[in-house]
Amino acid sequence: MTAIQRIILSTAVGTALALFAFGCGEPSDAPTPPKTAERAPAPPSNEAPAPPPAPPAPAKNPDTPPSESAAVQADVKAGKADYQLYCASCHGETGEGDGPVAQALNPKPARHNDGAYMNPLTDDYFFKVIKFGGASVGKSPMMAPLGLSDQQIHNVIAFMRSLAEPPYQP
């Protein structure tokens, strides 16, 4: 054995001893695992396969509320789209009452962004006006029933409420 070999060997032995000592020291520091865990019975080999993981919960999409709540939950975004389509020609895109058709009307379309006027009025009242027309509440027949679904009407009312200044407090 050459001197170099001896050095390498003693280094290796020393390292091994150090590792051994370190390895032996460790369990006394770590908590002893409970004995019962070691005796836990192994699962029988003929056990039924584990059930497949539950399917992931459907992603929540604010634009499409679940059907149970669809009847009551208003969708402001959808309401805005319908408002631009059906109402803005008279009431204006921002509810200012300044749509292109408004000039020809008398009385003028209501200003839906006027919180002082609109906030005290109820959703039920708006629903009636929008569903059955202005004449149904003694208002101008120029405010015509436009054939929106109940859901669309709820959405549009929610959008109208969002325009109010001062803001609408339900």
Q: Which residues of 39-78 are buried (b: 16+ CB within 10 A; e: fewer)?
A: eeeeeeeeeeeeeeeeeeeeeeeeeebeeeeeeeebbbeb
Under a CB-based contact definition with an 8 Å cutoff, are residues 145 and 126 in contact?
no
77 binds ligand HEC per the rule CB under 6 A: no
Express the helix, strand and coil content of the chain in percent, nearest 5 each.
50, 0, 50
119 binds ligand HEC per the rule CB under 6 A: no
Cα distances (Å, whole numbers) of residue 41 to 44, 46, 147? 8, 14, 69
Q: Which two tokens stand for residue 121?
A: 């009025």
When binding is defined by CB under 6 A, the residue of 134, 154, 163, 164 that contacts ligand HEC is: 134
Nearest to 153 by CA among 71, 60, 62: 71
136 binds ligand HEC per the rule CB under 6 A: no
92 binds ligand HEC per the rule CB under 6 A: no
Q: Which CB, 20 or 117, lies closer to ligand HEC?
A: 117
Q: Which CB, 76 or 142, lies closer to ligand HEC?
A: 142
When binding is defined by CB under 6 A, the residue of 91, 95, 154, 155 that contacts ligand HEC is: 91
110 binds ligand HEC per the rule CB under 6 A: yes
Q: Which CB, 14 or 167, lies closer to ligand HEC?
A: 167
Positions in the binding site for ligand HEC (CB under 6 A) = 86-87, 89-91, 101, 105, 107, 109-110, 126, 129-130, 134, 139-140, 142-143, 146, 148, 156
